[in-house]
Structure 1
Amino acid sequence: MMKLYGVPGWGSAISEVMLTLADIPYQFVNVDGFDAPGPQRSLLETLNPLCQVPTLVLEHGEVMTETAAIALMVLDRCPDLAPPVGQPERRQFQRLLIWLVANVYPTFTYADYPERWVPDAPEQLRENCLEYRKSLWLWLEEQLNPAPYTFGEQLTLIDVYLAVMRSWGPRHAWFAANTPKITAIADAVCRLPELHKVLKANEII
Structure 2
Amino acid sequence: MANWKLFGVRGWGSTLAEGALAWTGTPFEFDEVEGFDRPGPSRERLIAVNPLARVPTLVAPNGEVLTESAAIVLRLAELHPEAKLAPPTDHPGRTAFLNRLIWFVSAVYPTFTYRDYPERWAPDAAEQLAERVDAFRQSLWRQFEAQLGDGPWTLGYEPSALDLYVTIMSHWRPRRAWFAANCPKLHAIALSAEALPQLAPVMQRNFPA
Does TM, normalized by the shorter one, top 0.5?
yes
Q: Which residue of 1 is the match for residue 65 of structure 2? A: 63
Could you tell me how far apart the structure 2 residues matched to 1:73 and 1:182 are? 26
Deviations 1:25-84 (A, max 9, x none): 111111000001111111111111110000101111111101011011111112322223
CA contact (8 A) 1:107 1:129 kept: yes
Q: Which residue of 2 is the match for residue 34 of structure 1? A: 36
CA contact (8 A) 2:87 2:160 kept: yes
Could you tell me how far apart the structure 2 residues matched to 1:116 and 1:145 are? 39
- Between Structure 1 and Structure 2, how many residues are aligned? 205
Secondary structure, aligned partner of 1:131: helix
CA contact (8 A) 2:20 2:85 kept: no
Structure 1 gaps of 5+ residues are none
Structure 2 gaps of 5+ residues are none
**Counterpart residue identity of residue 110, structure 2:** P
CA contact (8 A) 2:7 2:30 kept: yes
Q: Return the match for 2:142 from 135, 138, 145.
A: 138
| 1:85–1:21 Cα change, 3 Å | same
Runs of 4+ in 1 over 3 A off after TM superposition: none
| 1:197–1:159 Cα change, 3 Å | same
Q: Return the match for 1:16 from 8, 15, 18.
A: 18
Could you tell me how far apart the structure 2 residues matched to 1:41 and 1:9 are? 17
Give the Å deviation of 1:191.
Answer: 1.2
Give the Å deviation of 1:16.
Answer: 0.3
CA contact (8 A) 1:15 1:70 kept: yes
Q: Which residue of 2 is the match for residue 190 of structure 1? A: 194
Could you tell me how far apart the structure 2 residues matched to 1:183 and 1:159 are? 11
CA contact (8 A) 2:73 2:85 kept: no
Taking structure 2 as the reference length, what is the TM-score of the superposition?
Answer: 0.94
Could you tell me how far apart the structure 1 residues matched to 2:208 and 2:191 are? 10
Q: Which has the higher helix share?
A: 1
